[in-house]
Structure 1
Amino acid sequence: MSYLAALGLKKEPFSTSPDPTFFYRSPIHRTALARLEISIRLKRGLNIVLGDIGTGKTTLARTLLRNFHEDSDFEFYLIFDPSFQTEFQFLSMLVDLFKIRPLRQNTLHFKRAVENFLYEKNMIEGKTIVLVIDEGQKLSTQLLEVLRVFLNYETNDRKLLQVILFSQLEIVPKLISLPNFYDRITSKHVLRPLELEEAKEIIQYRLIQAGWPEGKMLFTPEAIEKIWKFSNGFLRKMTQLCHQCLLKTAMNERFQVDETLVEEVVNEEGTFLNVERHYSGREVTQAY
């Protein structure tokens, strides 16, 4: 019998995979999602979502894509790891992503091919092209400048390319150093860690989505507060800790997650990290 069945759950409620089904619309995530959708539909151009690791950027991106899933007027293209070393590599990836064939394999013809592609898609086919880039902090200033050039492609009433950058906060100095790029940002969003009340709501929401009876308590309020404190309000850390707590609850044939169980899980994690530090000879950051 799986631990899910033992707890009366139908699905894994605390997976760290970016499943839009479990996306809880906290006020800050809901606002960011709504503004991004408006910006895309109005064809405003450049949008940036900033947040530390584990604040829900990737899940927000997947939810945005799902919101447009049935709208054939919008075409989304995703870059998950933009750690390109040269302008040529970046442009080569773009022409492959857009499935276009430049006349020659050089940066000049790549840019012309992308420009023609964007014009034809927008003005002839009536499509809106959206480029979503995750891990935006990996973009060099040179590649941000390439994006700026593409954002210059426009008509009287629209940008021909919509760009959404999801990035850690370390990109900010790069943006400030490129005023011509920074000035083109039409919407900026910063995803902060969750407040305690938001943590309570998201834990209960995920449990209900996984089949837990609404109104029934699996995590005590004290347990949730400890989880929130240990995770510092970061969503990914919080879901990892919740998963370990559920696993321990099922294995020990308990029926509720209380603060004592949370402390046991955190102590076990601390013991593992101490062993890893000893054998690896390097500093390891505690997950919770």
Structure 2
Amino acid sequence: MTLLIDTFELAEALASSAPPRLLDVRWSLAQPDGSADFEASHIPGAVYVDLDTELADIGDPARGRHPLPTREALEHAARGWGLNDGDAVVAYDGGPSYGSARAWWLLRHAGVANVRILDGGFAAWTGAGRPVASGPSHPARGGIALDWDRMPVIDADEAAEWPSHGFLLDARAPERFRGEIEPMDPVAGHIPGAINAPTTDNLAEDGRFYGRGGLGERFADFGIDGADDVAVYCGSGVTAAHQIVALEIAGFHAALYAGSWSEWANTPGRPVATGQQDFGRIGHPLPHAKGHVARQQAR
């Protein structure tokens, strides 16, 4: 099963006898609460999902800004979205797929097999002239029973050791990685040995993911192949899920450091590196990046 679904495929699926459950996960750092946008306009049949309160367990800064929820908390939320065992699920957000990637990762982690991301999100849906609805959504409560630990997760100690045997990708913007700015967390910089691989480079100009060929080339530029151990972190564990989606599209599997930089930076004694990283695995220089020319055509 593919990770992504386009607007044409989704329209067909919604018109079928067994339509997927639609989760609207509009979220951004600038506007984490997307409920007003949802009520103004959304894909018919969708349910709004609050990333901060339903896809995370916020409260203790030492665990990061978006620590994983418990299985029980996510199951309670998923039943509120109307999910039942065996349901097909499609998650979408405003377009870049950051919020929907978090939902995809968590549901996969919880054992939901049939979950996909609307490539290009709500922007792609409306851009294609598809119908929209407005107002709140109140689905009948579902009875889904979730599992747990279906996706690989690492902690801070494992992240510290990861570059000695594999690739630790930092999905944040380059200036945050280098420690030039830090708008969210108390310390600027990156985990020693990490490689900067911004999630923005996973997407074409229209907000859709590059295809397997383009993303495969992107990660191969870092020296990654199918035999490598790969782990990903970001600021708080949200955009790292986006990176894991891109890696999956490219044919690679990766672990999530769920606490990410926000946990690392709030833990006294953790080492911090700044500046540009020139190496992948310790002692293995990175090849020069080839840019986006080939990726723009590899959809």
Task: State TM-score, norm by structure 1.
Answer: 0.25
Higher helix share: 1
- Which structure has more relative contact order (CA 8 Å, sep 6+)? It is 1
Task: State TM-score, norm by structure 2.
Answer: 0.25
